[in-house]
Amino acid sequence: MFTGLIEELGSFVSSEGLRYRFAAKEVIEGTKIDDSISVNGCCLTVVALGEDWWEADVVSETVDRTSLGKLQSGDPVNFERAVRYADRLGGHMVQGHVDCVGTVLAPGSDFRVQIPRDFDQYLVEKGSITVDGVSLTCFGVEEGAFSVALIPHTLSVTTLGSYSEGDNVNIEVDVIAKYVERLLKPHNE
């Protein structure tokens, strides 16, 4: 479980098959093999560590459903370590399980994203959304799109400040909304 509060802006180093290497400093402090680190909102398991890098094995499902397969050497990535039970929950409950890939319609402080229409029902005004692992609040919700307001700090310490129109971002909708939908489904049929 994650909070969506990014701890470090690291970078993608390389991949050898489905083994991905990332450059990092902060998130590897105190990290050990088998720990989880969110990379642009994708929960990955640490399988190897060095002084300024770590590696994860990425399954084809992750490559197919996220933007991780498009990473190029040197690309910036958002990192967050998994929450410890003693930590504050400052963002919202984030699983690190990407639901879909969205497309940036408008970069900058009024960041707008287009998503597949199958996910419209999870978007609500002032509701939680995760974009590349960053916990945010939706506004301007319309069919197939939403906006989030980004403060200068968020733009400077996450990947969200580097995107242009047309770039892909990983989207995780609110897990509570998915559970509510599942529980109500038999009553709505």
Closest CA to 131 of 120, 118, 115: 115
The answer to whether the 8-81 and 100-188 domains have the same CATH topology is yes
* Domains of the chain by residue range: 8-81, 100-188
Q: Tokens for 87? A: 């930590």
User: How confident is the prediction along the chain (189 residues), in pLDDT tens digits per residue?
Assistant: 899 999 999 999 999 999 999 999 999 999 999 999 999 999 999 999 999 999 999 999 999 999 999 999 999 999 999 998 877 777 788 889 999 999 999 999 999 999 999 999 999 999 999 999 999 999 999 999 999 999 999 999 999 999 999 999 999 999 888 888 889 887 777
Q: Is the domain defined by 8-81 classed in CATH 3.30.43.10?
A: no
Within 10 Å of residue 169's Cβ, how many Cβ atoms?
A: 26
Give the whole-angstrom CA distance, residue 121 versus residue 111: 20
pTM, whole model, 2 decimals? Answer: 0.90
The CATH architecture to which 100-188 belongs is Beta Barrel (2.40)
Residue reference for tokens 């720990």: 35
In the chain, DSSP assigns E strands to: 8-16, 19-23, 36-39, 42-49, 53-57, 76-81, 100-106, 110-114, 128-131, 134-142, 145-149, 168-173
